[in-house]
Chain A
């Protein structure tokens, strides 16, 4: 499945969160990650994040799209070359 993650984290912890997400997904924009991932990996990722964040202050949103073909992305301005595995 395809997932888009956005987050709003206290500056003290934002680096830790970014590091974890970087291992699972590709970075799109400031505070936004996206990419394809399995259900198991996503759960693992969420568990790791839970240890880092403070639930009262931080928030992370996961937008899950079951089928990658069902989403359309429109871009204004620069599109960063992301999900490419040929580099």
Chain B
């Protein structure tokens, strides 16, 4: 039920009357119900003081900060209360054991490719792409090393992105995936969506005992929370891509939603807001969970994925990646 708060305006965030209070530079004031807030995403220029930070730590609110271009740059995380030495040891053990690591890495790829195929099947004339992706999935089964596996995943992703031009109706044309900086609108949308997913997955990981720096598919040495990259693989095609298709095919985005120049393209504030509105409602969408027998939101599915991983690491139940059944 608790929600994510996205702040674009510039101003000050304070603790006031035991809740979160935002005062923007143009004089608007707003209170937010602290009990219903799960994490805060800051896009504007915001001032914070230690009093506010202490308060967020007390309420277990995570703060994610994005830079001028909407890229994720860092987080303020409350002191970790959920630490588990045993789980950490197991996590490392599974990383060091090659077979175990391959199994988990393969599972993440499997989940990712499954959701890519699922997306493509919703549209016509995408059969050949679906077949190519299943071939890559077959290849992935026989991979001997993580590099090979990453190669399969990368090729499948190329095929998937090539199919975008069939799916997307309007004048937006997708040539190839480019990051840093994204050079066309589609790339800008993918980059922005992915950075949202990374931080959302990270907030969910922090609610469990998992250590976000030890990962299996991505190498864990890269000064980032690579476990959230691993888990994001599964959720990127499930959550971000349908939003992109919706925004473009329903003509919800206009030229002024992008800040374009010769060698870069970024979403403007209005574009980001439109994206976030869809993202927020997607995260709150609920589906009936087969095993739990109750409705769960997409956001909670991410947490369940973490719990499944913990069970696997503790040798309780073998990890199977989420495959959307609805």
Tell me, yes or no, whether B98 is within 8 Å of chain A by CB: no
B residues in contact with A23, CB < 8 Å? 17-19, 33-35
Q: Are B17 and A87 in contact, with the CB atoms below 8 A?
A: no
Among A16-72, those with CB < 8 Å from B are 19, 22-27, 35-38, 41, 44-45
Tell me, yes or no, whether B273 is within 8 Å of chain A by CB: yes
19 extra interface residue pairs, beta carbon distance < 8 Å, beyond A45-B35, A85-B4, A87-B6: A22-B17, A23-B17, A23-B19, A23-B33, A23-B34, A24-B33, A25-B33, A25-B36, A27-B31, A37-B35, A38-B1, A44-B35, A85-B5, A85-B280, A86-B6, A86-B277, A87-B8, A87-B9, A87-B22
Whole-angstrom distance between the Cβ of A61 and the nearest chain B Cβ: 19
Asked if A85 meets B6 with Cβ closer than 8 Å, knowing A23-B18, A37-B1, the reply is yes
A residues in contact with B7, CB < 8 Å? 87
Whole-angstrom distance between the Cβ of B278 and the nearest chain A Cβ: 11
Q: Are B35 and A87 in contact, with the CB atoms below 8 A?
A: no
A19 to B32, CA, bound (A): 11
Q: CB-nearest residue of chain A relative to B28? A: A87
Q: Are B36 and A36 in contact, with the CB atoms below 8 A?
A: yes
Q: CB-nearest residue of chain A relative to B22? A: A87
Q: Are B35 and A41 in contact, with the CB atoms below 8 A?
A: yes
Q: CB-nearest residue of chain A relative to B280? A: A85
Q: CB-nearest residue of chain A relative to B2? A: A38
Tell me, yes or no, whether B311 is within 8 Å of chain A by CB: no
Interface size on A, residues (CB 8 A): 17
Q: Are A22 and B33 in contact, with the CB atoms below 8 A?
A: yes
A residues in contact with B8, CB < 8 Å? 86-87
The contact string, 1 if C-beta is below 8 Å from chain A, for chain B 272-314, is 0100110010000000000000000000000000000000000
Q: Are A26 and B17 in contact, with the CB atoms below 8 A?
A: no
A85 to B34, CA, bound (A): 12
A residues in contact with B157, CB < 8 Å? none
B residues in contact with A24, CB < 8 Å? 33, 35-36
A residues in contact with B3, CB < 8 Å? 85
A34 to B197, CA, bound (A): 29
Whole-angstrom distance between the Cβ of B60 and the nearest chain A Cβ: 14
Among B1-49, those with CB < 8 Å from A are 1, 3-9, 17-19, 22, 30-36
A residues in contact with B9, CB < 8 Å? 87
A residues in contact with B18, CB < 8 Å? 19, 23
Whole-angstrom distance between the Cβ of A42 and the nearest chain B Cβ: 10
B residues in contact with A45, CB < 8 Å? 35
B residues in contact with A22, CB < 8 Å? 17, 19, 31, 33
A36 to B34, CA, bound (A): 13
List 21 contacting pairs A-B, 8 Å CB cutoff, sorted by A: A19-B17, A19-B18, A22-B19, A23-B18, A23-B19, A23-B33, A26-B31, A35-B36, A36-B36, A37-B1, A37-B35, A37-B36, A41-B1, A41-B36, A85-B3, A85-B4, A85-B5, A85-B6, A85-B280, A86-B8, A87-B22
A residues in contact with B1, CB < 8 Å? 36-38, 41
A24 to B32, CA, bound (A): 8
A19 to B7, CA, bound (A): 22
Whole-angstrom distance between the Cβ of A68 and the nearest chain B Cβ: 10
A19 to B81, CA, bound (A): 28
Whole-angstrom distance between the Cβ of A71 and the nearest chain B Cβ: 17
Q: CB-nearest residue of chain A relative to B1? A: A38
A19 to B22, CA, bound (A): 15
Q: Are A87 and B5 in contact, with the CB atoms below 8 A?
A: yes
A residues in contact with B31, CB < 8 Å? 22, 26-27
The contact string, 1 if C-beta is below 8 Å from chain A, for chain B 64-98, is 00000000000000000000000000000000000
